[in-house]
Amino acid sequence: MNLDFDKTDGLIPAIIQDNTTGQVLMLGYMNREALNKTQQEKLVTFFSRSKNRLWTKGETSGNTLKVVSITEDCDNDALLIKVNPNGPTCHTGSTSCFGEETAANRIKAIRFLAQLENVIQERKTHPAEGSYTNFMFEKGVNKIAQKVGEEAVETVIDAVAGKLDTMKGEAADLLYHLLVLLAATGLELKDVVAVLQERHKK
């Protein structure tokens, strides 16, 4: 890593990003010593301009930032550090110092769907004994499609009745069985998203 600390009076800005969600959590500054400590201990350490000393994030709160990767920018005068946060990053108790709670939660939800789809695809390729997913695959496309229809009807019934608590469970069942149906027919979630993206252009 060939950082130019002289260009920025000894301090390099470090953007901290959640490795899982991609959410920007905070911005801090590092001198050479802070960067070395961060690399060695795998916990983000800044140089505090107000305290005039090194400061490991979470040293008093416990909300540390576990380093996943450190990347320098094209001008060698800024850092992007991807982390796994242990608790909220902001002193206000928010996930991010930039207050993007809703966006982060949506990203987490989308990534979980992708993880779930990967598990379903893995079950299709490598069956696991006692797996409900494999049970559905063994039943075949017709049975899986029937199950999707049943869960869709139950979701609609709860929606019309205003039963939002139970509707969440039915909608979860619907999404899961739809992913199984896609896998059983050789399709993936990205194929469906591609159709939505194309329609969005019109």
Query: Mean pLDDT in runs of 10 for the chain (202 residues)?
Result: 85 92 90 96 94 93 95 93 92 81 68 91 94 96 97 97 96 97 96 90 71
Helix (H, G, I), strand (E, B) or coil at 83: strand
What pLDDT, on a 0 to 100 scale, did the predictor assign at position 171? 97
What pLDDT, on a 0 to 100 scale, did the predictor assign at position 104? 62
Rounded Cα distance, 1 and 9, in Å:
18
Can you give the residue ranges of every domain in the chain?
A: 6-85, 101-201
The 3-state DSSP composition of the chain as helix, strand, coil percent (nearest 5) reads 50, 20, 30
What pLDDT, on a 0 to 100 scale, did the predictor assign at position 111? 79
pTM listed for this prediction: 0.54
What pLDDT, on a 0 to 100 scale, did the predictor assign at position 100? 61
What pLDDT, on a 0 to 100 scale, did the predictor assign at position 88? 86
10-48: burial string, b at 16+ Cβ within 10 Å, e else:
ebbebbbbbebbebbbbebbbbeebbebbeeeebbbbbe
What pLDDT, on a 0 to 100 scale, did the predictor assign at position 202? 66
What pLDDT, on a 0 to 100 scale, did the predictor assign at position 124? 95
What pLDDT, on a 0 to 100 scale, did the predictor assign at position 170? 97
Asked if 19 and 68 touch (Cβ cutoff 8 Å), the reply is: yes
**Check whether domain 6-85 has CATH 3.10.20.810, yes or no:** yes
The CATH fold assigned to 101-201 is Helix Hairpins (1.10.287)
Same CATH topology for 6-85 and 101-201: the answer is: no
Q: What angle do CA 147, 148, 152 make, to 5 degrees?
A: 115
